Structures are given as structure tokens and as C-alpha cells.
Amino acid sequence: MITLKDLKTGEKARVQEIVGGIGLRRRLESLNIRVGKEIRKVSSLPFHGPVIIEVDRCEIAIGQGMAAKVLVEVLR
């Protein structure tokens, strides 16, 4: 398992765990980023910039800190 932060751009992965408080989990979940979902990393901005992921044809930008709290299993 790696974090969403370390996932390579363009790769697909399945969310395994969200390590964080209930607030963060709820927030991510309300945008459908939750355990079991398949996601794709669309882009990642340099110098600790945001990470963009795609969940069900929908793109969401989240901060690096949040991305580091989402553990995923790479799908090949």
C-alpha cells in the first residue's frame, strides 16, 4: 500500500484506508473518496502543490497533506 501522494500520475488505484480524523473522512467521503473506490491520479502539482484525482468521471483537487492520509492499492 502507498499513499495517494506517492501514486504516479495516470495510475489507477483502489482506496484502502483513510488515516485521519472523522472530519477528514466525512469530507472525503461526501465527495465519494472512500474505502473501496477506484480512483485515478490525474495530476500532481510540484512543490507540495495539490493532487488531482478522478473518481467516477469527476475530478477533485485535494491538498498534499490530505493525499498523504489516503492509502491506496495500485491497480494494474
Partner 1 sequence: MKILLMGNPNVGKSVVFSRLTGANVIASNYPGTTVEYTRGTLKLKGKKIEVIDVPGTYSLTPFSKAEEVARDMFLKENPDLILNVLDSTNLERNLYLTLQILEKKVPTIIILNMWDLARRKGVHLNVKKLEESLGVPVIPVNAVGGEGIIQVIQSIEKILEKKEEHTPSIEKMDDEEKWKFIGKLLLDIQKIEHRHPTLLERLEDASAHPIFGILIALLVAYLTLKSLIGAGEFLIENILDPFFYNYYGPLITRIIESTFPSGPIHDILIGTGYDYMESFGLLTTGVYVPFAVVLPYVSLFYLLLGFLEDLGYLPRLAVLTDNIMHKLGLHGASIISLILGLGCNVPGTFATRILEDERERFIALTLLSISVPCMAQTAVIIGLLGPYGIKYIAMVYGTLLTTYITVGYILNKIMKGESPEIFLEIPPYHIPHLGTLLKKTWTRIRGFLLKAIPFFFLGVLVINLLYVMGIMKILTGLLAPIFSSILGLPREAAATLIIGFLRKDIATGLLAPLHLSPEQLVVATTILAIYFPCVATFVVLAKEIGVKGMIKIGILMVTLAFLVGGIQHLILTNT
CA angle 64, 14, 5 (to 5 degrees): 15
**Grid cell of 44 as nine digits:** 500532481
CB distance 9 to 40 below 8 Å: no
The site string for partner 1 over 5-44 (x = CB under 8 A, - otherwise) reads ---------------------xx-xxxx-x-------xxx
Whole-number Å distance between alpha carbons of 32 and 28: 6
User: Is 3 near partner 1 (CB under 8 A)?
Assistant: no
- With CB under 8 A as the contact rule, the residue among 49, 73, 74, 75 that binds partner 1 is 49
Residues that bind partner 1 (CB under 8 A): 26-27, 29-32, 34, 42-50, 52, 55-66
